[in-house]
Amino acid sequence: MEASNTQMNHGFDQILDQIEKVGEDLAKTQGYSLPIPRAFVPSAKRFNYTDPNAQARLELYLESLEAGSDFYFDVPSGFLVMTALKHIKRGFCCNSGCRHCPYIER
């Protein structure tokens, strides 16, 4: 049985609420509609909430959204990561397993 997103997010509720609010405000001010509820909150299907670097990654993601950026540099992995905002601007899922894809169910 797959763990629910709420179970996987244990301990991250405050930062996830901030991510959701900042992301939704950004999308609204830029004229984009959200494909699903909580589209900016990383899905447990694509984001490992048990990883020791999860908090740092969420903080980097939040900072990039606050700056209105489409990407952020994930220091622990060395990847350039697209934000959910960038995916929403593009308008579809590319099926590449992106960390912040807003088109997969939460």
Taking the C-alpha atoms of residue 40 and residue 102, their distance in angstroms, rounded to an integer, is 6
Residue 8 vs residue 93, higher pLDDT:
93
Q: Is 20 domain-assigned? A: yes
Q: How much is the pLDDT for 105?
A: 78
Q: Is 25 domain-assigned? A: yes
Q: Is 28 domain-assigned? A: yes
| Residue 37 to residues 31, 75, 78, 86, Cα–Cα distance (Å) | 16, 28, 29, 17
pLDDT in tens, 89-102: 999 999 999 999 99
Q: How much is the pLDDT for 10?
A: 61
Section 7-12 average pLDDT: 64
| Residue 75 banded pLDDT, cuts 50, 70, 90 | confident
- For the chain, strand residue ranges (E) read 71-74, 79-82
Q: How many domains would you assign to the chain?
A: 1
DSSP-assigned letter for residue 83: -
DSSP-assigned letter for residue 77: T
Average pLDDT of the chain? 89
- Give the position of tokens 């020791």: 52
Taking the C-alpha atoms of residue 7 and residue 31, their distance in angstroms, rounded to an integer, is 32
Q: Is 99 domain-assigned? A: no
Q: Is 106 domain-assigned? A: no
Q: How much is the pLDDT for 5?
A: 46
pLDDT in tens, 54-63: 999 999 999 9
Q: What is the pTM of this model?
A: 0.86
Domain range for 50 is 5-90
Q: Is 95 domain-assigned? A: no
Q: Is 60 domain-assigned? A: yes
Q: Is 64 domain-assigned? A: yes
Question: Which residues, 6+ apart, have CB-to-CB distance to 83 below 8 Å?
Answer: 23, 61, 64, 65, 69, 70, 71, 72, 100
